[in-house]
């Protein structure tokens, strides 16, 4: 579908629409091309309209969250990219009942903000997500997490606008949460209910401080990087192995390819020079996966999603 036809497709919808919108500045890699159209719906109803119209017209529809865990091709992406950055997708309430505290939050909220506001109320339950750059929606979609746990352990339910433009509420037990995976239907998460618990304020602050310090010391947080490039693979017994350790043992820390480099700090991070090429990141990740396979006989699967024209992972 032509750009003019796509623009007409979005006409009359309550959304901010930007044609030929640069995406690189919205990602942690800080590189990449433009989206044909970037749409910021001002209500869930507007998101439903966008979803329905794109489905009926066969126009690709993607959702952009915090911009972590994402590499956008130098040539950009076709179709419509939705960003849930309007106030309606960033609301949150802390509701107390006899069963505890439930956080109702919009999918466009950054996890670090939710962690901070929960901590200020001496509420635990999200500290396992410290240092993981994501919006709530993105964290839920891939069940983001780390050594201290994942978002699944705090989730009660989530709300999703499906690819069929139907709105549904899905309980955590029906979401199919697994390691960096869910079995959620195609669509866009708009919010969730999360379970929190009262904590001793001092103990919670100390735990948050400890986790933050470990992250800062072991990850290249100041570099242009999307986070861990690969999922931790499982061995024949199902035990998870450290992808970073496998990369390190293969002697790949510091390996460069064009404007991309395997971080000398953490082997599972690929960094890129400012103004670099996404192609270099993609090619370097393939080199790393192949050399780890040659050394260990283990296949690494990418955790970072690549967006390209004509299709994405």
Domain count, the chain: 3
Do 51 and 122 lie in one domain? The reply is no
Do 50 and 130 lie in one domain? The reply is no
Classify the phi-psi angles of 187: left when phi > 0, otherwise alpha if psi is within -120 to 50, otherwise beta: left
| Cβ contact 301:288 at 8 Å | no
Do 104 and 193 lie in one domain? The reply is yes
Do 78 and 100 lie in one domain? The reply is no
pTM for the full model?
A: 0.91
Is 214 domain-assigned? no
Do 157 and 96 lie in one domain? The reply is yes
The pLDDT assigned to 310 comes to 85
Active site residue 180: yes
Is 64 domain-assigned? yes
Instruction: Give the pLDDT mean for 207-234.
Output: 88
The pLDDT assigned to 65 comes to 95
Is 46 domain-assigned? yes
Domain-ending residue, one of 153, 170, 204: 204
Domain-ending residue, one of 31, 58, 87: 87
Is 185 domain-assigned? yes
Is 242 domain-assigned? yes
Percent of the chain topping pLDDT 70: 97
Do 54 and 129 lie in one domain? The reply is no
Q: What angle is formed at CA 234 by the lines to CA 232 and CA 240, rounded to 5 degrees? A: 60
Instruction: Choose, from 42, 180, 295, 309, the residue flagged as catalytic.
Output: 180
| pLDDT digit string, tens, across residues 268-278 | 999 999 889 99
Question: Domain with 30 in it: what CATH number?
Answer: 3.30.43.10
Is 154 domain-assigned? yes
Active site residue 279: no
* Structure tokens that stand for 274 in this block: 């400012």
pLDDT higher than 80, residue 1? no
Do 189 and 249 lie in one domain? The reply is no
In which domain, by residue range, is 25 found?
3-87
* Structure tokens that stand for 259 in this block: 């404007």
The pLDDT assigned to 131 comes to 87
Q: How confident is the model at residue 4 (pLDDT cuts 50, 70, 90)?
A: low
Distance CA 119, CA 129 (A): 12
Instruction: Choose, from 127, 141, 303, 308, the residue flagged as catalytic.
Output: 303
Instruction: Give the pLDDT mean for 189-216.
Output: 94
- Per DSSP, 161 falls in state E
Residue 1 neighbours by CB under 8 Å, 6+ apart = 9, 57, 58, 59
The pLDDT assigned to 197 comes to 95
Distance CA 108, CA 40 (A): 11
The pLDDT assigned to 236 comes to 84
Do 14 and 111 lie in one domain? The reply is no
| pLDDT digit string, tens, across residues 44-93 | 999 999 999 999 999 999 999 999 999 999 999 999 999 999 999 999 99
Do 39 and 23 lie in one domain? The reply is yes
Active site residue 273: no
Is 213 domain-assigned? no
Is 215 domain-assigned? no
Instruction: Choose, from 159, 207, 228, 231, the residue flagged as catalytic.
Output: 228
Do 38 and 63 lie in one domain? The reply is yes
């Amino acid at each position: 579908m032509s750009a003019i036809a796509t623009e007409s497709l979005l006409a009359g919808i309550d959304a901010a629409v930007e044609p030929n919108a640069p995406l690189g500045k919205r990602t942690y890699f800080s590189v990449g091309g433009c989206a044909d159209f970037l749409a910021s719906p001002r209500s869930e109803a507007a998101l439903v309209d966008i979803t329905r119209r794109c489905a009926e017209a066969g126009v690709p529809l993607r959702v952009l969250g915090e911009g972590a865990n994402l590499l956008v091709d130098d040539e950009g992406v076709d179709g419509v990219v939705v960003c849930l950055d309007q106030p309606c997708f960033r609301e949150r309430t802390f509701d107390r009942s006899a069963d505890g505290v439930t956080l109702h939050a919009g999918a466009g909220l950054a996890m670090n903000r939710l962690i901070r506001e929960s901590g200020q109320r001496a509420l635990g339950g999200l500290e396992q997500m410290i240092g993981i750059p994501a919006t709530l929606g993105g964290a839920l979609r891939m069940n983001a997490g780390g050594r201290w746990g994942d978002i699944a352990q705090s989730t009660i339910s989530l709300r999703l606008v499906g690819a069929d433009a139907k709105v549904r509420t899905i309980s955590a037990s029906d979401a199919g949460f697994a390691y960096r995976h869910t079995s959620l239907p195609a669509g866009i998460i708009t919010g969730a209910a999360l379970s929190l618990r009262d904590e001793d304020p001092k103990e919670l602050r100390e735990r948050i401080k400890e986790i933050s310090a470990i992250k800062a010391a072991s990850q290249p947080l100041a570099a242009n990087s999307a986070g861990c490039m690969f999922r931790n693979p499982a061995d024949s017994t199902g035990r998870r192995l450290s992808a970073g350790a496998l990369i390190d043992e293969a002697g790949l820390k510091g390996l460069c390819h064009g404007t991309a480099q395997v971080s000398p700090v953490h082997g599972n991070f690929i960094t890129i020079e400012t103004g670099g090429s996404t192609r270099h990141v993609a090619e370097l990740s393939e080199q790393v996966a192949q050399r780890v396979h040659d050394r260990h006989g283990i296949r690494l699967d990418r955790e970072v999603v690549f967006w390209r024209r004509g299709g994405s992972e």
